[in-house]
Chains A and B, each alone.
Chain A
Amino acid sequence: MSAFAQHLAFAFRTGIRNRTLLLLNYLFPLGFYLLMALLMGRINPLFPPIMLPSMITFAIVASTLLGLPDELVTAREAGILRSYKINGVPAVYLVIIPALTTGLHGALVSAIICLTGPSLFGASPPTDWLGLIICFAAAWLALAGLAVLIGVISPSTRVTVLWSQLVFLPSMILGGVTGVPADLLPEGLQRLALLLPPTWAMRALNGWPMSGVLGASSTALAILVAGGLLAFGLAVYLFSWDRHSGSRRANPLLALLALAPYVVGVLLGG
């Protein structure tokens, strides 16, 4: 088995062994899904049609934005990244591998939601499974990219929590993830919501997979893929092996460039 495969397998197991990651990858999204399905599914008739897209988006947001950055910052603070560096682990692996394993955990949780939602809670099933897989991948790309970028630029775990919550909390309220359709929000808030990647993830997953029409997700897919690639690129560029090295290639503020595709989305008006 190659070093990359060994590392990927270890990182995947870590997502289950580490209690915090287990909570964020599985227990939190599945618990939230059960709660929302049991409550909102009964009291809000608008929820069952968007149950799968919103709960899949929530699963990706929880595992990426809440789990990934802290893992990276902790590894840097504890000197784990230095151990990797002296043994020849490329920086790009340390950005990609945790993101990939988070995607795998997210895919497993999404599969559970897709398999149980329609039969147990009356959720509308996807009409285009290929569309669902592609939209899931795009949403993962954007959110995992943003998460590793936060992990790379954060100077400490405390700041990491702040940055992550800055995206996570508004996304819960404005992004349509909690079952409140985004188009019911005031126009100003709707525009603000477009700055948040989860809003576009929700749009993508609620479009093509549910309607079977690719065009329903095309803008969101383009923005998510552009945002994800830009964020991953910036994360690799700004990567630092330790907090003292001062070897970062550029000012961390450069990371704000990763929001450019979402700003374009706002200018396009969604």
Chain B
Amino acid sequence: MAESVVSVEQLTKRYGDLVAVDQISFAIRPGEVFGLLGPNGAGKTSTLECLEGLRTPDGGALRILGVDPVRHPRKLRDLIGVQLQSASLPDTIRVDEAMRLFCAYHGVPPRYDLLERMHLGAKAHAQYHELSAGQQRRLALALAVAHDPPVLFLDEPTAGLDVPARVELHALIRELQAGETTIILATHDMAEAEELADRVAILLRGRVAATGSPLELTATGAALTKISVRTQDGCLLDAPVTFTAAQQAATKGEYAIYFSEDTAQTVAAILAYLAAQSDPLVDLRVERPSLEDRFLEIVTEGAAP
């Protein structure tokens, strides 16, 4: 296995009596998109901010490309790009000024091409307070990647973005990943994590409750596959019909809905029943448990006394 780019060992962060992060450990490989998931107060932001050098950990060891964020904050600055969730720029700074200023602090030429890429070219002379929330987030991302950092932290990157901007941002994240940038993505959006992340860690009460690829995590859950069936004559709606391996049944509009442990067996049984009833199939949808389902399962288990 390649040496990890980000290594977190026994990280602890306290605020008075509250233990926000409780001895968590994980490692992130080169070029990986690593999702950090968890409900509010799970310790995501504290973990990220310790890694970014914004907070001092109370225990544990952190390394980003071998650099300790606490001991060598200046070295860290050029290694990481950060799009903070709760950060801002001065109201009166212009978009092009912000790009010039931040690039100057990193010692690189201004990347006006990124403004074009983030659809901010026409807003280059606009002041920060004149930008929409989405434009402000895109500017923050452009500034975060302007010095071409090998490690990128994204905290809720698509919050407040409209669909086209979100699609564009996802494309940019994939492009950065293809360019070997290691990305740590904190998000509440499970679909986003499932789509972008190679691996995720689910934090709960300051601890890592689960870690793995989205596929691995969803495969280990107790959630069942959802099968929705619509037929021409609605024979499945008239009276409850049970099938092999399907544990629950419900109806929603013209659809009969089943939850199955064995998708293939249940689907085969449904099709055989429809053939016997001479009721043609109109629509059949199979939805495997999503990361969101697994996340809710973990959070619910974790919240149970």
Please list the residues of chain A having a beta carbon within 8 angstroms of any beta carbon in chain B.
Answer: 1-3, 6-7, 10, 13-14, 17-18, 75, 78-80, 82-83, 85-89, 241-242, 245-247
Contacts and interface: CB of A to CB of B under 8 A. Distances in A.
Contact of A82 (B86, B102, B105): B86
A87 B97 contact: no
B100 A6 contact: yes
A89 B87 contact: no
A150 B97 CA distance: 28
B54 A82 contact: yes
- Ranked nearest first, the 7 interchain pairs of A and B with the lowest CB-CB distance are A88-B77, A3-B104, A79-B87, A17-B92, A86-B82, A83-B87, A78-B88
B105 A80 contact: no
Given A10-B101, A13-B92, 8 more contacts: A82-B54, A82-B84, A83-B87, A88-B78, A89-B105, A241-B54, A242-B54, A246-B15
A88 B105 contact: yes
- Which of B74, B86, B87, B106 is packed against the most chain A CB atoms within 10 Å? B87
Contact of A87 (B15, B56, B92, B102): B102
B90 interface: yes
Contact of A7 (B74, B77, B84, B101): B101
Given A86-B54, A87-B102, A88-B74, A14 B90 contact: yes
Contacts, number: 70
B55 interface: yes
Interface string B122-156: 00000100000000000010010000000000000
B162 interface: no
Interface of B: 15, 52-56, 74, 77-78, 80, 82, 84, 86-93, 97, 100-102, 104-107, 127, 140, 143
Contacts of B86: 79, 82
Given A82-B87, A88-B74, A245 B55 contact: yes
B105 A86 contact: no
Contact of B88 (A14, A80, A241, A245): A80
B152 to A, nearest CB: 12
Contacts of B100: 6
A247 B56 contact: yes
15 contacts: A6-B104, A7-B101, A17-B92, A79-B84, A82-B84, A82-B86, A83-B87, A85-B53, A86-B52, A86-B53, A86-B84, A87-B77, A87-B106, A88-B77, A245-B54
Nearest to A85: B54
Contacts of B78: 88
B90 A80 contact: yes
A88 B87 contact: no
A247 to B, nearest CB: 7
A10 B104 contact: no
Given A86-B84, A88-B105, A89-B105, A18 B92 contact: yes
Contacts of B143: 87
B55 A18 contact: no
B105 A83 contact: no
B104 A86 contact: no
B89 A83 contact: yes
B67 to A, nearest CB: 13
Contact of B97 (A10, A79, A242): A10
B92 A14 contact: yes
Contacts of B104: 1-3, 6-7
A81 to B, nearest CB: 9
Contacts of B89: 80, 83
Given A1-B104, A3-B105, A88-B105, A79 B82 contact: no
Contact of A18 (B77, B87, B91): B91
A251 to B, nearest CB: 17
